Amino acid sequence: MKHEVQSRGRLPVEECVQIGLALTTALAHLHDHGLIHRDVKPSNIIFVNGVPKLADIGLVTDVEATRSFVGTEGFIPPEGPGTVSADLYSLGKVLYEISMGRSRLDFPALPDNWDDLPEDEQAQLREFNEVLVKACESDAGRRYSSARQMHEDLDCFGAESRSGRNALRNSAGPSPKSWLSRWRYGGVGCGNPIPQKLKKWHTPTPEAWREYERGRYHYNQLTPEAHKKALEHLTRAAELDPEFVLPYRELTALYVWGSRACSLVRKRGFVRSRKSLTN
């Protein structure tokens, strides 16, 4: 697959969906038998009679085995490899690279020539990107719980794309079944409404996303020391891209729940910035 992308460039969304369907089927088979791959990436995917297959089976191991740190930078989730969830994270990054024509380190940035793409193609990429964002959540608990669940979303998206529903959605607004659209157009986790100016689709800068992922990792450690680090990374993410909504969710939670990090939140003036966002 690495050679395929190098020679052809960004692949059509419909083709990426079919590749995703084949690879989620392969991962589901592995996971059902208590096995994990540990290094899903383009160079470990081969085509046999036009069908993508997972290669480098020497890395496949029992899910209960002692975890050794294998994998490739950018395809490994924050918590490390060696789980079902980590395999799905890696697959999400693979699908990102082949559909967006960018390095996985740029995730979740959209294609460079975004403004030149037809509206229907933009709509397809936005919808497909929702699957990728869920697969590549920094918090493992927010990712797909299984390869079959990810397969179902890809299969549903493929059917909708073939029927032309994406074009209708682009003009009518987000689908009520779209979990990410509900987040973008609804409200944040602590019950606070997203400011109107931030409800619009927005792709954060790669630097802001990386800071957010680091912040989420420390946020989930649930200790005062980790929350201090989370505060630094999340604040940095918001500073790098003020229109990036997600960091404000965790910053709000740090403030609301009153951990030791909250005193730092107040010192950094987040209370004031929060008020300015909701005015």
Residue bearing the bigger pLDDT, 100 or 262: 100
Q: Residue 61's pLDDT is what?
A: 55
Q: Residue 276's pLDDT is what?
A: 44
Give the count of alpha carbons within 13 A of 241, CB side only.
21
Rg (CA), the chain: 19
Give the separation between CA 179 and CA 186, rounded to whole angstroms. Answer: 10
Q: Residue 262's pLDDT is what?
A: 43
Map tokens 């789980």 to a residue. Answer: 83
Q: Residue 58's pLDDT is what?
A: 54
Q: Residue 258 phi/psi, 5° resolution?
A: 70, 30
Taking alpha carbons only, the member of 192, 53, 180 closest to residue 128 is: 180
Give the separation between CA 76 and CA 82, rounded to whole angstroms. Answer: 9
Helix-then-strand count for the chain, H and E? 12, 4
Phi-psi group of 47: left, alpha or beta (phi > 0 → left; psi -120 to 50 → alpha; rest → beta): beta
Cα 89–34–80 angle (5° rounding)? 35
The pair of three-digit structure tokens given for residue 118, joined into one six-digit string? 């037809």
Give the separation between CA 36 and CA 59, rounded to whole angstroms. Answer: 8
Q: Residue 211's pLDDT is what?
A: 86
Instruction: Check whether 178 has a pLDDT greater than 50.
Output: no
SS3 2: helix
Taking alpha carbons only, the member of 113, 162, 115, 107 closest to residue 131 is: 107
Q: How do residues 2-16 score in pLDDT, each as one tens digit?
A: 888 888 889 999 999
The pair of three-digit structure tokens given for residue 253, joined into one six-digit string? 């939670």
Residue bearing the bigger pLDDT, 214 or 64: 214
Map tokens 């690279």 to a residue. Answer: 97
Residue 175 banded pLDDT, cuts 50, 70, 90 = very low
Q: Residue 143's pLDDT is what?
A: 93
For residue 108, say if its preceding peptide bond is cis, omega within 30 degrees of 0: yes
Residue 170 banded pLDDT, cuts 50, 70, 90 = very low
Highest mean pLDDT among 118-127, 176-185, 241-250: 118-127
Taking alpha carbons only, the member of 186, 195, 244 closest to residue 215 is: 244
The separation between CA 232 and the C-alpha centre of its own chain, rounded to angstroms, equals: 21
Give the separation between CA 190 and CA 178, rounded to whole angstroms. Answer: 20
Lowest mean pLDDT across 22-31, 76-85, 107-116, 252-261: 252-261
Instruction: Check whether 251 has a pLDDT greater than 60.
Output: yes
DSSP assignment string, 147-187: HHHHHHHHHHHHHHHHHTHHHHHHHH---TT-HHHHHHHSB
Residue 209 · residue 107 · CB < 8 Å: yes
